Amino acid sequence: MAEKTMKIVIIGGEAAGMSAAAKAVRVNRDAEVVVFEASEIISFGACGLPYYVGDEFQDHTYMAEFTPAQFAERGVQVLTSHRVTKVDVANKQLEVRHGDALISTHYDRLMIATGASEVMPPVDGLEKAGVFSLRRMDDGLRLKQAIADVEHVTVIGSGFIGLEVVEALVHQGKKVRLVERAERLIPDAFDAEISTHLQTELEDAGVELLLAQSLQAVLGETAVSGIRTDQGEYATDLVVICTGVKPNTTFLQSTGIEMLGNGAIVVDLQGRTSLPDVWAAGDCASIWHSVLGQNAYIPLATGANKLGRLVGENIALVDQHQALTFQGSLGTSCVKVLGLEAGRTGVSEQEAEGAGLNYKTVVIKDKCHTNYCAGQSDIHLKLIYDADSHVVLGAQMLGRKGAVHRIDALAVAIAMGMTTQQLGMMDFAYAPPFARTWDVMNVAGNVAK
């Protein structure tokens, strides 16, 4: 067997890391590719956890797409239960803990893809039995088992995962309470014109919403009996914490690597960090926002896979002048809340205002398709666009049918620099069961002034 000419080490075996590993071994057959993963599972998609809890599917192994043995067949060595605890940049050495053993290993090129961990609120009682988060496979297995024996569940946080967990619990027939410290639901992703409809949908389903309330403590002796917020005490059998994530990068602090304020590793458009021969991608890293023109923290599986694949190409190249450049992220994302679907892309009005952009907005309500076909329902669209050029900067859409797939068209429009006038005349597909002759996107473009 020919001697390998380059050793590529990847820390982290989930979306970004395994995408990079798969690509790197194809690009450079002479490279040795090694992945260290702290857990026992690789290629795990945490996005499926709420749907597993809600009985959308029964086989939890669907959420782990590949095994270490399958990657070994491709030429990638994957070492699970191996946690990297230190990076010696000057000597290109890693300190790796496996059980009680401490191992030292060399790298020529390094990728950091350590993902993120849940943010737990700084309150008393989180150690009690009946308090859960939902980030790892084991979290989902334990939560699904636990809810079978309880009647009432309280969810803390109304981000994407929080809303999906609420839906899962409603499907399981539980009494559900949702606590959100902001004045409205999912405030970081959607503007008020969209989130207000999600609130109504949950309230109509019997979900108790405690908005503008902050968790102060989890109550009970050894097991959960209730919660205390800044406005009162409420009985509950079980608590699920869904208050966001933070990058897993504390082990890098001594390296001097450049990070955002939240600890996300800053990378350039080729995935390089500020350290020599070190790349990063996924929920541990920043990603370039193509509308804002700056690095941002957007912990989404789509960005992790795409930038991970690009890093896999670049890290394996012998000639770095051939390195690929990332086109940027629009933060395109979506969520299903009972009978409603909502999607967004580009910037929200909140983000546009925070960035000091000169923008205007338009909000319209139309129908998803013609009135003589069954299932017609309202569809809501908000456009954010440049006040002078009318270039579309962001879009949010909500409805019972067809909203999320339309947001993909608007992502393309933003990526291509389309104006509202061009959007108004865009030749979208029409047939009575799918749209109206003037689609809701046409209408929004035409009324934007």
Domain ranges of the chain: 6-117+246-322, 120-243, 341-447
pLDDT at 290 over 60: yes
pLDDT (tens digit per residue) in 89-147 = 999 999 999 999 999 999 999 999 999 999 999 999 999 999 999 999 999 999 999 99
d(CA 301, CA 297) in angstroms, rounded, equals 12
What pLDDT score does 176 carry? Answer: 98
Q: So what's the architecture of 120-243 in CATH?
A: 3-Layer(bba) Sandwich (3.50)
pLDDT (tens digit per residue) in 53-93 = 999 999 888 888 888 999 999 999 999 999 999 999 999 99
What pLDDT score does 62 carry? Answer: 87
d(CA 221, CA 297) in angstroms, rounded, equals 38
pLDDT at 1 over 60: no
pLDDT (tens digit per residue) in 385-434 = 999 999 999 999 999 999 999 999 999 999 999 999 999 999 999 999 99
Contact 152, 169 (CB under 8 A): no
Mean pLDDT of 253-271: 96
What pLDDT score does 61 carry? Answer: 86
- Range with the poorest average pLDDT among 63-67, 170-174, 314-318: 63-67
pLDDT grade, residue 43 (50/70/90)?
A: confident
SS3 at position 385: strand
Q: Does the 6-117+246-322 domain belong in CATH 3.50.50.60?
A: yes
User: What fold characterizes domain 341-447?
Assistant: Enolase-like; domain 1 (3.30.390)
What pLDDT score does 449 carry? Answer: 86
d(CA 320, CA 295) in angstroms, rounded, equals 22
Contact 287, 295 (CB under 8 A): yes
What pLDDT score does 179 carry? Answer: 98
User: Which residues lie across from 76 on neighbouring strands?
Assistant: 33
Contacts of 136 (CB under 8 A, 6+ apart): 39, 44, 46
d(CA 324, CA 308) in angstroms, rounded, equals 12
pLDDT grade, residue 166 (50/70/90)?
A: very high
User: Which residues lie across from 319 on neighbouring strands?
Assistant: none
pLDDT (tens digit per residue) in 343-393 = 999 999 999 999 999 999 999 999 999 999 999 999 999 999 999 999 999
368 is catalytic: no
What pLDDT score does 3 carry? Answer: 67
pLDDT (tens digit per residue) in 198-226 = 999 999 999 999 999 999 999 999 999 99
CA 397 vs. chain centroid, Å, equals 18
d(CA 234, CA 230) in angstroms, rounded, equals 11
Contact 155, 135 (CB under 8 A): no
Residue 272 CB neighbours (<10 A): 19
Half-sphere exposure of 282 (CA within 13 A, CB side): 32
SS3 at position 433: coil
Domains 6-117+246-322 and 120-243 share a fold: yes
Looking at the chain, the whole-number percentage of residues with pLDDT higher than 70 is: 99
- Helix segments in 273-356, DSSP class H: 301-316, 349-354
What pLDDT score does 2 carry? Answer: 59
pLDDT (tens digit per residue) in 3-20 = 678 999 999 999 999 999
Mean pLDDT of 35-55: 92
